[in-house]
């Protein structure tokens, strides 16, 4: 499994799932559904990422599908390690 990287859709953007992946030293990419709070600053990941330097840009063709016309997408690749803050609702549930 060391060479496996899981690519997950927004349905995998669950704090407990992310903790499981990290605890088991599994590599993963999760498309985010929620803009969570991070420890790196007051910004949430979307704002934080918008301020990162681009490491690569490219364009790709997205084929026609489901009645949507084919189109060209411009991709801007940025990355950084961040630490997600524990969801407040989880913290509250710990004391009930």
Helix H or strand E encompassing 52: none
Torsion of CA 36, 57, 10, 65, to 10 degrees: 150
Question: What's CA 29's distance to the chain center, in Å?
Answer: 6
Radius of gyration of the chain (CA): 17
The rounded mean pLDDT for the chain is 84
pLDDT, mean of residues 32-46:
79
Name the more confident of 79 and 89: 79
pLDDT at 96: 40
Model pLDDT, residue 43: 76
Residue 73: what pLDDT? 94
Q: Which two tokens stand for residue 39?
A: 């420890």
């Amino acid at each position: 499994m060391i060479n496996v990287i899981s690519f997950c859709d927004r349905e995998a953007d669950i704090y407990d799932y992310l903790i499981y992946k990290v605890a088991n030293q599994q590599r993963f990419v999760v498309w985010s559904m929620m803009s969570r709070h991070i420890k790196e600053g007051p910004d949430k990941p979307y704002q934080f990422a918008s301020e990162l330097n681009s490491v690569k840009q490219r364009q790709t063709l997205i084929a026609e599908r489901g009645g949507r016309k084919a189109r060209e997408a411009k991709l801007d690749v940025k990355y950084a390690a961040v630490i997600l803050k524990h969801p407040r609702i989880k913290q509250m549930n710990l004391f009930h």
